[in-house]
Structure 1
Amino acid sequence: MIQASIDHYSGHVSGFQLTGHADAGEYGQDIVCSAVSVLSITTVNGLQEVAGIDLTVDSDDENGGYLSVSVPVLNDAKKSVKADAILDTFENGMKDIAESYSKYITLKTN
């Protein structure tokens, strides 16, 4: 099962952690894992490439099943607006996945 946690600070998403595997299908056929992977990687890429934010990212590239992302406090209004849009979209997507596939993923918000 995937354990997902989304952190908030002052009303903004400030980071997220993902651990585990969905085990909703065979390797390469697991749609829950694919959905979470695509959403999280796209979020990290968007924050870095579109919003221009220097994130703290920790992952287990060899075994998979672990990703931790921390967003710094932003003093740049334009970057903050972009980051909020990207991170709120991530949070909405994760809520949708968790509702549709609750057997394979749990989502906690802090």
Structure 2
Amino acid sequence: MIHAFFKRNKKEEIISFEITGHAESGAYGTDIVCAGVSALSIGTTNSLSILGEFTPLVETNDEVEGGYLYVELPLEINEKQLTTAQTLLESLLISLKSIEEEYPKYVKLNLD
């Protein structure tokens, strides 16, 4: 199962997300749930760098070992960068909620 964790600060802004595990909804290379979550999370991470014009803290591990992505916003971003980041991160959350609703046996969101 894929677990996605979102952490918010006191202002309710998303400051990090972490995605772990594999959906195992299909054979390796044909797992559409895993592919969808991966595409959304990697696309969001890349968009934070390009559209947000800052480098988020990113940690990953070998997919074979269990799939892992952690992304955290740096503390020193400006207001415009924060606004862009929040739009992208809220969009990721909405998209992952849709996948969770469609495939509840394979994806679990944890909101902090």
TM-score, normalised via structure 2 length: 0.91
Instruction: Give the Cα separation in 1 of the matches to 2:33 and 2:23.
Output: 6
In 2, Cα distance between equivalents of 1:56 and 1:42: 15
Deviation of the 1:72 alpha carbon = 2.1
Q: Which residue of 1 aligns with 2:78?
A: 76
Whether the 8 Å CA contact 1:74–1:80 is kept in 2: the answer is no
- Which has the higher mean CA deviation after the structures are superposed, 65-74 or 83-92? 65-74
Count residues in correspondence. Answer: 110
Match of 1:2 in 2: 2
Cα RMSD for the two superposed structures: 1.3
Residues 84 and 36 from structure 1, CA distance in 2 versus in 1: closer, same or farther, beyond 3 angstroms? same
Offset at residue 73 of structure 1 (A): 3.1
Identity of aligned residues (%): 38
Structure 1 residue 53: deviation in Å? 1.9
Partner letter of residue 41 of structure 1?
A: I
Give the match for residue 22 of structure 2: 21
The 5-angstrom pairing of residues 36-51 of structure 1 reads 36-51=37-52
Contact 2:16 2:72 in 1 (8 A): yes
Q: Secondary structure at the match of 2:27?
A: coil
Give me the whole-angstrom Cα distance separating, in 2, the residues matched to 1:55 and 1:17: 13
TM-score (norm: length of structure 1): 0.93
Contact 2:3/2:20, CA 8 A, preserved across alignment: yes
Residue ranges of structure 2 left out of the alignment (5+ in a row): none
| Maintained 8 Å contact 1:53/1:79 | yes
Structure 1 runs of 4+ off > 4 angstroms? none
- Tell me the residue number matched to 2:90: 88
Structure 1 unmatched ranges of 5 or more: none
